[in-house]
Each structure stands twice: as C-alpha cells, then as structure tokens.
Amino acid sequence: LLHHSTYKRKPAKKTKKAVVFFEVEILDAKTKDKLCFLDKKICFLFVSDPQWYPARQSIRLDPKGKSLKDEDVLQHLPVGTTATFYFRDLGAQISWVTVFLTEYTGPLVIYLLFYFRVPFIYPPKYDFTTSKHWVVHLACMCHSFHYVKRLLETLFVHRFSHGTMPLRNIFKNCTYYWGFAAWMAYYINHPLYTPPIYGEQQIRIALIIFLFCQIGNFSIHIALRNLRPPGSKTRKIPYPTKNPFTWIFLLVSCPNYTYELGSWLGFTLMTQCLPVAFFTLVGFIQMTVWAKGKHRSYLKEFRDYPPLRSPILPFIL
C-alpha cells in the first residue's frame, strides 16, 4: 500500500497537469499512537523495519476492519486528501506450505509407527508383529495414500492467495492432526482390534466410497488451481469442467470439503472405529465453518453467483 501510494496523481488528460497532495498518518490500531506521517523517506523506513517485515504488517482503514490488500492504491481508496490508516502487527508468520507439509507429514509417520507396532506402544510380545485382519492393512494403505496425496498437492497443486499464516497456527494444527492420527492408529492397529460387523461386504463398499471421494477431492483441487494463474491472486467463480467429478459445483460452493467428508465417512465405515468417527465429526464441523465463510465471500464478491449452490451439502447445508 505505502509503496504504491504516490503523493500526487495526474488526471487522465495529459493536457492538464493538476497535482493533488495527500496527507496520511499511520496509527497503531491498539494504542492509537502515531507511528509515522506519510513522508516518503519516513514511510519507507517504516515498511522496511526488520521488526515488521511485510508479511506481518496489516494496514487498515478502521482499527477493527479488514486489512487492505497489497495491490490497493491510495488514490482508489475511499479517503480524501487527508486520511488515517491503522497498523496492526500480525505477529510472527510462517508460510502455508511449511505448515501443510508439517501437519500432513506427522500423521503419515505416526500412523506407521502404530501399524508396525514399534516397542513401547503395545505389550512387548506384540512388538513388530502384524495384524491377522486384512482390513487393518487396507486401512493403513488408505490412510497413507490420503496424506501422501495431501503432501503432493501442497507441493505441486495448491496456489495460495496468502503466503503466510500466524506461527501459532502450526502448533494448533499439528496438535489436531497428529493427536487424532495417534488416537485412531492406536485402536485400528491394536492386537485386540475386531473387523467391521458386516465383514468384507462392508469393507469393499467403504473402500469404493473412499477412493471415489479421493479422486473427487483431487479433481476439485485441480479445477481450483486452474482458476488462478501462477503468481496471481485473481478470484473467479468455479464452474464444472469436462471432468464429471467437478459437476458437483452445480450444487455446492466447496465440493473439496464435500469429497473430504465422504472420504472420512468411507474410512469410518471401513474401520468401524469410534475415534475415526469422532475425527470425521470434528472435521465436518470445521469444514462446514470454512465452507459457509467461503460461500458468503462468493455471494458478496460476485453478483451473478449461482443461487442454487449450498456451502457443503447440496440443498441441506
């Protein structure tokens, strides 16, 4: 904002050389203390201060309002020739890629420790033994596939509109993913684990649901990726493509969450394990919050947004 804001602007007609001067001050959003006045030299010092590197800076028109975008230009903002902006320190930041790689690697490794029954998890006589139930091995393959897919998507598919998030999020996210992975893996790989009540038929149906939703989730991520050119923050309305897995866009704003929910419902049916069901429920609640927020954002930003779409579940939610 400060880098792009100029202190004079020229009218569209080159024949008239009018100059408009802006007076802008930056205040601390919490204390209202003046941090700087819009003098070119002072403000460049403010922006380049190592204590407030760009990723942790938030400049707002209102102390409790939303942060201005990096591409916002002073002349285009709803301010007069005298304006007051508010600065908020967002705290230490970390890249989204680093957070995703960390939170997804943990469950992959943790689950395998339980699967191979390394010492100090189960009684010593079970160290490095394997389960006699084939569903346990299938569950390990599905769980590993899911998180390997997430890691590869983070590296090669996802394009993030924001480069960073608060550092504290990595601890919260890892606690959630790593903790649930350990809880689920402990019971699924336990020597006393019993297979689903309806046997192979239940397992096969669950596997079909899981794989179908995994392919669907990947298809949606590819479709969303193709909406945003590399290095761009452009937002567009997502529409179905030739891929049948994307046709759910006709009814849902965030089908990636719909397919994610379906995957974990399939995994729950496959393992018939209570911790997995609880993880699915908690994940559904969180994804519903995200989907509703994204849905509201679409409606606010695009006047022609399809009215039949629901946030996450067609016609329901």
Whether 300 has a pLDDT exceeding 50, the answer reads yes
For the four alpha carbons of 149, 150, 155 and 161, in that order, the dihedral sign comes to positive
Q: What is the pLDDT of residue 169?
A: 85
Give me the pLDDT at residue 79, please. Answer: 61
- pLDDT tens digit sequence for 193-245: 999 999 999 999 999 999 999 999 999 999 999 988 776 767 889 999 999 99
Q: Rounded CA gap, 270 and 170, in Å?
A: 30
Say how far apart CA 253 and CA 300 lie, in whole Å. 13
* Domains of the chain listed by start with CATH number: 47-90 (3.10.20.90), 93-299 (no CATH)
Torsion of CA 217, 219, 220, 225, to 10 degrees: 130
213 phi/psi in degrees, rounded to 5: -75, -30
What token pair was written down for 82? 């005298």
Q: At what angle do helices 134-156 and 199-227 cross, to 10 degrees?
A: 0
Rank 26-30, 35-39, 123-127 by mean pLDDT and report only the highest: 123-127
Distance CA 302, CA 235 (A): 10
Is this structure's pTM higher than 0.85?
A: no
